[in-house]
Amino acid sequence: MEVYVTLPQQSQKIRMVAGKSILMVGGLFLLAYGSVMGIEAALGVAPWHVLHIGLTNHIPVTVGRSTQISGFAILAVAMALGVRPRMGTWINMFLVGQMMDAIISFGLVPGVSSMAMRVLYMLVGVYIAALGVTAYMCADMGTGPRDSLMLGVTRKTGWRVGIIRSSLESMAVLVGFMLGGPVGIGTVVAAFLTGPSVEISLIMFSKLAKREYLSSIIVLPASVRFGRRTQVEAHASASSN
């Protein structure tokens, strides 16, 4: 039996892939931008960056390369938990560090000196980074190494994504600090606000997914929980309203 793909079907598939690609790359840019805001706040870097910078104290690599090295190691653990890397996973490992370097080089995040602006950078940076994480997860082209680990642990335990993410990032801070990475109040804030920020962003994306023209682009990870309900249950409930 031969199956023919019509031009409208091909066009629809191309639009879907293009939409997912834009969502993924846009999410990675938001993650990089939010991360640089946290660095410019100079109140302590985000949890994973404590680890990345700590590693550079012991091996002769840049922070970007350190991010890639740790990404490979973390991905290996995620794979052991049953998460399989996809194209977006490898793109994440390569692009985020490159984007951060470009944002810093071109001065896309202006430096600030007042404490009020530094605190604002810290808080806004956490949410922008979390929004970026959610965006590329919902593009369903493969999560990054750290979020693959988060989803793998969530799948095995059934615990809420906020609890899992905050726990993993707290562990990254501890190891990074032992390696000499910079820790401050911004590190603590990011460790405990990133998880809830991802949950809030996931709720927002679950509402966007109800729109017909976005339903084929936004895919909610089924293994992530909102409180006691899975995303699939939450999405189904929202769609029935």
Which value, to the nearest 10 degrees, does the dihedral of the CA atoms of residues 23, 28, 34, 37 take?
-130
Q: What is the pLDDT of residue 62?
A: 76
pLDDT score recorded for residue 26: 94
What would the two tokens of residue 39 be?
Answer: 């660095």
- Binned at pLDDT 50, 70 and 90, residue 238 comes out as very low
pLDDT value of position 61 = 83
Q: Token digits for 221? A: 């990870």
Looking at residue 8, what is its pLDDT?
Answer: 62
Average pLDDT over residues 12-22: 83
Return the number of other C-beta atoms located less than 10 Å from residue 214's C-beta: 15
- Which of 108, 95, 90 has its CA nearest to residue 37? 108
pLDDT tens for 117-133 read 999 999 999 999 999 98
Q: Quick one: what percent of the chain has pLDDT higher than 70?
A: 88
Instruction: Provide the mean pLDDT of the chain.
Output: 82
Segments forming the whole domain that contains residue 104: 7-239
In a domain, 114, yes or no: yes
Residue 2 lies in a domain: no
Highest mean pLDDT among 154-158, 231-235, 237-241: 154-158
1 in any annotated domain: no
Residue 27 — very low, low, confident or very high, per pLDDT cuts 50/70/90? very high
Question: In angstroms, how far is CA 106 from the centroid of its own chain?
Answer: 23
For residue range 30-55, what is the model confidence (pLDDT) as tens digits?
999 998 898 889 898 888 889 988 99
224 confidence band (pLDDT: 50, 70, 90): low
**Does the pLDDT at position 229 exceed 50?**
no
| Overall domain count for the chain | 1
Residue 126, pLDDT score: 93
Question: Which tens digit of pLDDT belongs to each residue from 55-98?
Answer: 989 998 877 788 888 888 999 999 998 888 888 888 888 888 88
